[in-house]
Amino acid sequence: MKIDKLNLDGKKDSIEVLDKIFSAKINKRLVDNVLYKTNANYKGRHAKTKQQNEITGSTSKIYAQKGTGGARHASRKAPIFVGGGVAHGPKGELAYKKRKLNKSEKKLSIASLITEKKMEMKLLKSPGKWNGVTYKEDIQTVRNLLTNR
């Protein structure tokens, strides 16, 4: 498959590209799924608190169940006590599952996005070096490229 390419001078050329990349089936659900998985995997889950079972110390009852006049309690590790575990705190990275992303899913979603951008005529690759000396000339070159489409 050949697609048109514009030089910085405004001249049109054509280059040979793979059909399976530039004319792939557009799959929005797959693209959404890939974005969801990658964003979820980037999220850092570093905060961690100690649960009741992770506190070191005795697990014996503090005092007798009856006859003291106080509320019934078990061990000092309970979340109600100072120095006890945290009831519903963050559990750290290992408690959250990593969402697996297949290589084929990633490739197909990228091909789908490239195809969509090509259809919308929004595919633009910048060259390595601009020939303009000033910012004003660079802006003029980009305007020329966009109007020559």
pLDDT tens digits, one per residue of 9-42: 667 777 787 777 777 888 899 999 999 998 888 8
CATH class of 2-44+100-147: alpha beta
What does the pLDDT read at residue 3? 74
C-beta separation of 51 from 86 below 8 A: yes
What pLDDT score was predicted for residue 103?
92
pTM above 0.85, yes or no: no
Could you tell me how far CA 9 lies from the centroid of its own chain? 38
Which regions in the chain score pLDDT beneath 70? 6-10, 122-133, 145, 148-149
Alpha carbons 59 and 120: distance in angstroms, whole number: 67
**Residue 68 φ/ψ, nearest 5 degrees:** -95, -20
Where, residue-wise, is CATH 3.40.1370.10 in the chain?
A: 2-44+100-147
